[in-house]
Every structure is written in structure tokens, then in C-alpha cells.
């Protein structure tokens, strides 16, 4: 499933450069585009936004649940040059 950012966000911005999908947008509270977030699938074993967030406000988005196959499909669509990825 995609991740989402709660209203605990302090808009520090450290998550933005860590996202392999450029899924995080700036704002008073930063936001994650669920159509783009892959849970970092294919790049990292842990969600990078959640790993770096100082207030732990990056959490699984229960409204956008996806299977591993769906995440893989989304990741390959966003990164067609990565067809040789080992999933």
C-alpha cells in the first residue's frame, strides 16, 4: 500500500530527497501521491520517508492497500528501465 503523511508533519522536508519515486510534495503538511508511492518497492527494504522522518508521521495508507504484485507493477511502470530488477 502507499504511505501517507499525518498532520503531525512539521514540514522539515528531509523526506523529499529520499523518495525514489518523487512522490512527496511540499506544503504546510507534506503529502504523498498514492498513485506514485510504491512503498520504495524495488529500491529499499524499508520505507525511506518513514525511516528519516523525525516525528514518525509517515504511515501506511489504509485507504490505498496494494499487493506486492501491484506494487511491483507500479514500480516497473514508473521505472521501465529497471526491468532487470530482482524483486
Cell of 44: 529499499
Q: How far is the CB of 30 from ligand SF4 (least distance, A)?
A: 4
Q: How far is the CB of 71 from ligand SF4 (least distance, A)?
A: 9
Is residue 4 close enough to count as binding ligand SF4 by CB under 6 A? no
Is residue 38 close enough to count as binding ligand SF4 by CB under 6 A? yes
Q: How far is the CB of 7 from ligand SF4 (least distance, A)?
A: 10
Residues 41 and 47: their CA atoms lie apart, in Å, by 8
Tell me if residue 24 falls in helix, strand or coil.
Answer: strand
Only one residue has cell 490505498, namely 64
Q: Which of 15, 2, 82 is nearest to 42 (CA)?
A: 82
- Which residues are at the interface with ligand SF4 (CB under 6 A)? 3, 5, 9-15, 18-21, 23-24, 30, 32, 37-40, 47-49, 52-53, 55, 57-58
Amino acid at each position: 500500500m502507499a504511505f501517507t503523511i499525518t498532520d503531525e508533519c512539521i514540514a522539515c522536508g528531509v523526506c523529499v530527497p529520499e523518495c525514489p519515486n518523487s512522490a512527496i510534495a511540499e506544503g504546510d503538511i507534506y503529502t504523498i501521491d498514492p498513485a506514485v508511492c510504491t512503498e520504495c518497492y524495488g529500491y529499499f527494504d524499508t520505507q525511506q520517508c518513514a525511516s528519516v522522518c523525525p516525528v514518525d508521521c509517515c504511515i501506511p495508507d489504509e485507504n490505498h492497500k496494494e499487493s506486492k504484485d501491484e506494487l511491483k507493477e507500479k514500480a516497473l511502470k514508473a521505472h521501465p528501465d529497471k526491468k532487470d530488477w530482482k524483486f
